[in-house]
């Protein structure tokens, strides 16, 4: 039988034939795709004709088409719906794909052709986009070790292969820890929990084939449990399991893996001539140097820590009023912060959530995209990769722009967190290809027949990931190498974090936040209280984030630590980390940093981008309209459609006229002292 992964996808929008694909199809499909890619690379490198942009760079752009197609399906499935077979194949593929990548970047005849083009670049008559693509290809090859020889080149290949294996293992260990742990709740343990938390705990038990209720390590369940459960001993048990992921001394312990990853990253940087892995990693980013990252983070740390300290004193008083003596602990913070929020803002999440259904917030995100960019969304029938996945065609004035897939509910086979990926990216070379974009979240799944209700933080997550999706959907470049989110890591979060601002535009919630039972709009006083509480508990949120970002930087800024956990403890002690706040991601479960190189030495990038997103939304405010057409057109032209066609600071300056300072960020987080 023909392998469906390798045949032409002739269905509507050339979607993968999900219903026909079996796990057994992936290994032979990868083998065939790798063989085809190797043959294409060999033909490019061995071409007797002199190097040209068309026969070298454009040929490289198309050389791995089959591999991109197979990988686009497999890695989306592996992250969102793992099976033992998929996990085993992931472990097998990690060194194979790393070896192939090294073969390409260490191919001397191929690099010689790229270098010849680089040396002659001013005489080639290239368009600005082509010049940018040539520049990035050469930079990628050099940073991958193309200029190394002999033992150094061989060692770099081995290091990268081992890092690929370790990153996969780290991720799979974390998934296993999250999948295996649960805490059954007796009937008495449900006391004080809102209906939506009880329903989520029941649905979590049903997913595991159990009756009753359980708490799992899914963030959309454990966080509200910590917010609302009056049972302090249960909060402590749940919190301890959450922060101990990857550090339980079992077969899934990630501490030694993290240490080896850091050693190999330091060696990789040294082989390439850099003082540290952070220096290597940050060179192509907007920040450029570890020092500039640290400067930004520490400018925010002091006011955030001060705000968190003041908040801790208030929460401690609330705890003592409950008859609990002693110090506020990490498993107490969310519970008393929620009590304080209800008291000070008269904001009860249990009363709020019926107005924030998943369907309503999807509709809100679509409506904003329509008003800003003229996009329209039409539901599609599956089958898709999982029964929970929903699909839409995205059009503008009748033109097909993208297919958007939403996979919103938590399940044991899905890794934690939320992310945006693409099964197929946008490009024009070789024929117009429009993207297939996927948003993956981990919202608590309701019981059958019940609506899915989101917290306000969940709704922000949905808008955040949809902002990434827009970066893919609106991409309008010729070369896939620079399309969509193929930008500097500390720029990629700008579209996503900027899009969150529209959730705070009053008319968006006035239109879409409607009660799931009555259909009534959110009461005006509730809306005003919700928006007034926008900076509530930002001391806590900022401190837990900054602690993780500063530990990440410390891990990669100097020599690799012999004991990462000891360095983590030292960094936190030096910062004066508040006792009742922990890092958002402790080292053994810091998937951003250790499941791959993506955010390694780069977790700071959320805040770097936040400096820009606060300033970027101010452009709409200055225009007097959150949907100002002229500002939206500039945003699309210079940010969302441009991909990586220019350096990030040039793109931002083209949109805004200047680079921003840190003050809008501090204001947005409520960390500026009143004048």
Q: Is the pLDDT of residue 672 over 90?
A: no
Position 572 scores a pLDDT of: 98
Q: Which tokens is 115 given?
A: 């270098």
Whether the per-residue pLDDT at 238 is higher than 70: the answer is: yes
Q: Per residue in 3-38, is it b (16+ CB within 10 Å) or e — as a string?
A: bbbeeeeeeeeebbebeebeeebbeebbebbbebbb
In a domain, 661, yes or no: no
Measure the N-to-C terminal CA separation of the chain; round to a whole number of Å: 73
Same domain? For 220 and 113 the reply is no
Model pLDDT for residues 249-306, shown as the tens digit of each residue:
999 999 999 999 999 999 999 999 999 999 999 999 999 999 999 999 999 999 999 9
For 409, residues 6+ apart whose C-beta sits below 8 A from its C-beta are 388, 441, 442, 443, 444, 445, 452
User: Does one domain contain both 105 and 212?
Assistant: no
Please, are residues 304 and 543 in contact by the beta-carbon 8 Å criterion?
yes
The answer to the question of residue 66 being in a domain is yes
Q: Are residues 24 and 114 in the same domain?
A: yes
Q: Quick check: 674 pLDDT over 60?
A: no
Return the pLDDT at 293. 96
Of the listed 61, 64, 349, 465, which one is catalytic?
A: 465
pLDDT digits 0-9 by tens, 357-410:
999 999 999 999 999 999 999 999 999 999 999 999 999 999 999 999 999 999
Q: Is 673 a catalytic residue?
A: no
Clarify whether residues 16 and 138 are in a common domain. Answer: yes
pLDDT tens-digit map of 83-125: 999 999 999 999 999 999 999 999 999 999 999 999 999 999 9
- Look at the chain and count its residues: 675
Indicate the pLDDT class of residue 350, thresholds 50, 70 and 90: confident
- Please report whether residue 373 resides in a domain: no
SS3 428: coil
Summarize the confidence of residues 505-510 as an average pLDDT.
96
pLDDT at residue 236 is higher than 90: yes
- Checking if the pLDDT of 675 tops 60, the result is no
Residue 1 has pLDDT above 70, yes or no: no
Whether residues 21 and 94 share a domain: the answer is yes
CA dist., res. 106 & res. 115, Å (int): 13
Computed over every residue of the chain, the mean pLDDT equals 96
Asked if residue 134 is part of any domain, the answer here is yes
- Total of domains in the chain: 2
In a domain, 197, yes or no: yes
Same structural domain for residues 53 and 114? yes
Whether residue 190 is found in the same domain as residue 118: no
Where does a domain end: 147, 162, 193? Answer: 147
Q: For residue 628, is it within any domain?
A: no
Contacts of 347 (CB under 8 A, 6+ apart): 341, 526, 529, 530, 533
Q: Tell me: the pLDDT tens digits for 52-76? A: 999 999 999 999 999 999 999 999 9
How does residue 664 score in pLDDT terms, banded at 50, 70 and 90?
Answer: confident
High-pLDDT (> 90) share of the chain, %: 93
Owning domain of residue 203: 181-243
- Asked if residue 368 lies in contact with residue 554, where contact means CB atoms within 8 angstroms, the answer is no
Tens of pLDDT, residues 310-346: 999 999 999 999 999 999 999 999 999 999 999 999 8
User: Does a structural domain hold residue 293?
Assistant: no
66 and 135 inside one domain: yes
Structural domain ending residue among the three candidates 222, 243, 264 = 243
The reply to whether 58 and 139 lie within a common domain is: yes
Pair (111, 221) in one structural domain? no
Residues 133, 52 share a domain: yes
Instruction: Indicate which CATH number applies to the domain containing 63.
Output: 1.20.1050.40
What is the pLDDT, as a whole number, of residue 447? 85
DSSP 8-state code for residue 357: B
**Which of the four pLDDT bands, split at 50, 70 and 90, describes residue 673?**
low
- Considering the domain architecture, whether residues 137 and 220 belong to the same structural domain is answered as no
Which of these three, 211, 243, 275, is where a domain ends? 243
Whether residue 471 has pLDDT greater than 60: yes
Confirm whether 283 is domain-assigned. no
């Amino acid at each position: 039988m023909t392998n469906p992964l390798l045949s032409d996808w002739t269905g509507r929008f050339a979607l993968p034939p999900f219903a026909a694909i079996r796990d057994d199809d992936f290994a032979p499909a990868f083998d065939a795709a790798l063989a085809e890619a190797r043959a294409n690379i060999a033909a490019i490198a061995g071409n007797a004709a002199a190097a040209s942009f068309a026969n070298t760079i454009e040929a490289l752009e198309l050389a791995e088409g089959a591999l991109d197609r197979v990988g686009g399906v497999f890695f989306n499935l592996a992250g969102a719906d793992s099976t033992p077979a998929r996990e085993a194949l992931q472990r097998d593929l990690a060194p194979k794909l790393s070896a192939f990548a090294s073969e390409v970047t260490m191919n001397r005849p191929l690099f010689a052709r790229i270098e010849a083009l680089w040396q002659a670049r001013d005489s080639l008559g290239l368009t600005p986009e082509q010049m940018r693509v040539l520049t990035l290809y050469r930079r990628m090859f050099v940073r991958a070790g193309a200029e190394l020889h002999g033992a150094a080149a061989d060692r770099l290949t081995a290091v990268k292969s081992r890092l690929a294996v370790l990153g996969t293992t780290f991720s799979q260990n974390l998934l296993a820890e999250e999948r295996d742990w649960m805490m059954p709740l007796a009937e008495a343990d449900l006391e004080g929990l809102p209906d939506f938390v009880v329903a989520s705990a029941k649905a979590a038990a049903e997913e595991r084939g159990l009756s009753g209720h359980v708490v799992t390590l899914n963030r959309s369940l454990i966080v509200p449990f910590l917010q609302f459960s009056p049972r302090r001993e249960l909060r402590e048990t749940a919190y301890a399991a959450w922060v101990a992921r990857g550090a339980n001394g079992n077969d899934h312990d990630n501490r030694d893996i993290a240490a080896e990853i850091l050693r190999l990253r330091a060696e990789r940087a040294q082989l390439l001539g850099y003082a540290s892995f952070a220096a290597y990693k940050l060179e192509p980013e907007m920040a450029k140097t570890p020092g500039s990252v640290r400067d930004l983070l520490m400018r925010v740390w002091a006011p955030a820590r001060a705000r968190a300290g003041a908040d801790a004193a208030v929460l401690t008083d609330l705890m003592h009023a409950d008859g609990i003596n002693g110090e506020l602990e990490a498993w107490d913070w969310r519970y008393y912060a929620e009590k304080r929020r209800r008291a000070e803002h008269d904001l009860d999440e249990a009363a709020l959530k019926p107005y924030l259904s998943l369907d309503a917030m999807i509709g809100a995100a679509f409506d904003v995209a329509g008003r800003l960019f003229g996009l329209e969304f039409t539901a599609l029938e599956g089958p898709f990769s999982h029964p929970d996945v929903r699909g839409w065609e995205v059009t503008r004035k009748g033109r097909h722009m993208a297919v958007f897939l939403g996979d919103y509910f938590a399940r044991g086979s899905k890794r934690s967190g939320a992310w945006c990926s693409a099964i197929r990216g946008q490009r024009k070379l070789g024929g117009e290809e429009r993207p297939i974009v996927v948003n993956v979240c981990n919202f608590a799944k309701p019981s059958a027949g019940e609506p899915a209700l989101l917290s306000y933080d969940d709704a922000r997550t949905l808008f955040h990931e949809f902002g990434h999706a827009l970066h893919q959907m609106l991409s309008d470049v010729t070369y896939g190498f620079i399309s969509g989110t193929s930008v500097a890591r500390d720029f990629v979060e700008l579209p996503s974090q900027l899009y969150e601002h529209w959730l705070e535009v009053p008319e968006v919630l006035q239109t879409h936040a409607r009660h799931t039972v009555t259909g009534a709009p959110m009461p005006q006083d509730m809306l005003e209280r919700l928006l007034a509480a926008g900076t509530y508990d930002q001391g806590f949120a900022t401190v837990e984030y900054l602690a993780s970002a500063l530990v990440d930087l410390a891990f990669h800024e100097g020599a690799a630590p012999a004991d990462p956990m000891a360095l983590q403890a030292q960094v936190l002690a030096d910062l004066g980390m508040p006792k009742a706040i922990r890092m958002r991601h402790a080292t053994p479960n810091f998937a951003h940093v250790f499941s791959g190189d993506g955010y390694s030495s780069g977790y700071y990038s959320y805040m770097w981008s936040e400096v820009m997103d606060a300033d970027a939304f101010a452009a709409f405010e200055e225009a007097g309209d959150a949907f100002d057409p002229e500002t939206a057109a500039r945003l699309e032209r210079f940010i969302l459609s441009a991909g990586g066609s220019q350096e990030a600071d040039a793109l931002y300056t083209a949109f805004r006229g200047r680079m921003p300072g840190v003050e809008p960020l501090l204001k947005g987080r409520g960390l500026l002292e009143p004048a």
